[in-house]
Chains A and B, each alone.
Chain A
Amino acid sequence: MITLKEGNLRIPRWNRKVFAVAGGLTNYKKFCPEMKLEEQVMVAFRQMLENNDLKLSPVEIKGLVNFLACGEFADHFQDQLLCEAKVTDYLGLDPIYDIGIKTGGATGGSTVLTAAMAVASGYADVALAVGWERMSEVDTRTGNYYIANAACKDFETRLSRIYAAYYAPMAVRFAWAYNLSEETRAKVAVKNHLYAYYSPYSQQPGKYTIQDVLNSPMSTYPLRFLECCAMTDGAACMLLCDEETAYKLTDKPCELFIAGGSHTLRVADRRDMEIPLLPHETADMYKGLRKKEGQRWPGFESFAASRFAAYFAYRMAGITNPLEELDLVELHDAFTISDIQTYGDIGLRPYGQEPDYIESGDAYFDGKCPSNLSGGLIGTMHAVGATGIFQGIECLWQIQGKYDKFHGDPKIWESFGKRKPEDWKSLQVPNAKQALWVSHAGVGSHVTVGILKKAF
């Protein structure tokens, strides 16, 4: 679809308001033999029910749930069809209906979108968005091959069998088109590994220097291992409800808006098209964008799916200038380059000026609109089906002022067999009111943009 018509651009609208009230995570790690998949989901579910200051008992809350959206990326990994039924049973929610959601790396975001639609439509008053992935069922190279099945199997998969190799051409092209240095890419990795250092949930925390990142082994040139997320075992749960139930359950509900966009799996097939403009943008801004030979939008530089999702989500939530109005963002930094590409898609910078979001300091904890204080995918986790839920929960806790409660409590660290660092520091954004998260699949095949707004 090259020319978008009125119907294609209709802004999604909830029939009634939707709220997020609670979330739960697990200890994210590469290999979790001590627990089965459904046992890990239970850890997240218990944290959601027991530790979010909810005003009803866990059993009473379970009595309100009447829909589950279940996110799982790949049956290849779980090697078990209908995991949804096992999980719903294990959580003691039978016979409530659960629908399995599958949109690659965006599965978590799509799961929240599905649960939100259930509440918005009136199908459910209380819906559970739950996601998981058990990537340790296979060795890393086999896992890479499984994930590469999310490239076109006829024309792309055999050409590398690892996903970094589908992002690397984007990194090369982006650097050429928009003047992105390796150091700027490395700064994203340094930042997100560091923020993961303050999180008890994180899998790849670390205090690295730019040089450490640039010296780390090459995955696919130009992307190095410290610029890539890892394989993770883990789960996440988020509780959504209608307005009346939200205030019955918590003093700190957040209103939720979320929308999605899709684009052809093969980047190669992304023909030049007109850029859908965000509320703060004008067509004039992009007159000179295609100045170099062979330039197209979105091409290899940008993601039309992310732009489309942001186009809708901002209008649903009434956001007119994202950088000014958002207090923090959680982006899908599966690779440093995918993180940087997204800055333009969601309007944190105009297209072509993405690196400045990092270089200006805006993206840091003390900056104008910090990104990935959770540690993101590079630092904390990418248990694919859970990722887009985890990101939303980190946004929710920030707005609720609970970063310290969920990251600074030594008991949480100890329950995961970890020790809270002596030099732990709080990454609580003071007085956060609005947060955004991006859940992203493939090389931009499916993307959701979610926005949470303080409603207390």
Chain B
Amino acid sequence: MASKGKITKYTGKPAKVLQSEPAIVIEWPRSLAHRHTYGKLSPFFKGLTEGRLLATRCANPECGEHRLWLPPRADCPDCNQPMTWEELPQPVIGTVHTYARVEYAGAGIELTTPYFQVDVELPGVCTIFKGYLQYGTLEIGMKVKACFRTEDPTNTILDIYWIPVVNDADARF
């Protein structure tokens, strides 16, 4: 015989009804935090908080690709051997490959809109590096300089940003 001693109680919050016509639509809250590792790329993200831009290079002499990778990769996609870290010399000056001006951003955006997103060619790097511009405007072919959020770092890719290089003084470290 079932005991009446322990009653199962409802401890949740009733679902909010958003509409009932032509069908019942309820709110289904979701709030959660994932754990995400930077894995073997941790030196890169640590480097940003210290004002350093780290790239990787394949150490295998047999491999056909000897340029730097940025975003870095711990392992070479061509020969599948581990890569080694290298710091780009300061100041890091790149050329604008292309850009976009974000006016309408998705939920959770951490930058004030509108802002420029920029894809930067860097000397000796086989890839193109995406970031954002702190101020100014862009055109293809112009020079930009890397800056770092060493104070109050975000511990994300937003710790590196770019500024326009208008004259020689801007290019100084």
- In angstroms, how far is the closest chain A Cβ from the Cβ of B71? 5
Contact of A154 among B22, B41, B140 (CB under 8 A): B41
- Chain A contacts of B129 at CB under 8 A? 268
A97 at the interface (CB under 8 A from B): no
Q: Which residues of chain B from 35 to 72 have any CB-CB distance to chain A below 8 Å in the complex?
A: 36, 38, 41, 64-65, 69, 71
Q: Is the CB of B126 within 8 A of A271?
A: yes
- Chain A contacts of B38 at CB under 8 A? 154
- Chain B contacts of A222 at CB under 8 A? 100
- Chain A contacts of B108 at CB under 8 A? 145, 161
B142 at the interface (CB under 8 A from A): no
The answer for the CA separation of A266 and B121 in the assembled complex, in Å, is: 14
- In angstroms, how far is the closest chain B Cβ from the Cβ of A181? 16
Contact of A158 among B78, B110, B114 (CB under 8 A): B110
List the B residue with the shortest CB-CB distance to A3: B64
Q: Is the CB of A218 within 8 A of B25?
A: no
With an 8 Å Cβ cutoff, the count of chain A residues facing the other chain is: 48
A334 at the interface (CB under 8 A from B): no
List the A residue with the shortest CB-CB distance to B125: A268
Q: Is the CB of A172 within 8 A of B102?
A: no
Contact of A300 among B97, B117, B126, B132 (CB under 8 A): B97
Q: Is the CB of A155 within 8 A of B100?
A: no
- Chain A contacts of B36 at CB under 8 A? 153
Q: Which residues of chain A from 109 to 131 have any CB-CB distance to chain B below 8 Å in the complex?
A: none
- Chain B contacts of A169 at CB under 8 A? 98-100, 117, 119
Q: Is the CB of B157 within 8 A of A34?
A: no
Subset of 20 A-B contacts with CB under 8 Å: A2-B65, A2-B78, A3-B64, A79-B30, A142-B106, A144-B107, A147-B106, A153-B36, A156-B157, A159-B117, A159-B157, A160-B109, A165-B117, A168-B117, A172-B98, A172-B140, A219-B104, A220-B100, A268-B127, A269-B71
Binding site for A on B (CB under 8 A): 19, 22-23, 25, 28, 30, 36, 38, 41, 64-65, 69, 71, 77-78, 95, 97-110, 114, 117, 119, 121, 126-132, 140-141, 156-158
Binding site for B on A (CB under 8 A): 1-3, 33-35, 79, 137, 139, 141-142, 144-145, 147-148, 152-156, 158-162, 164-165, 168-173, 176, 217-222, 266-269, 271, 293-294, 300
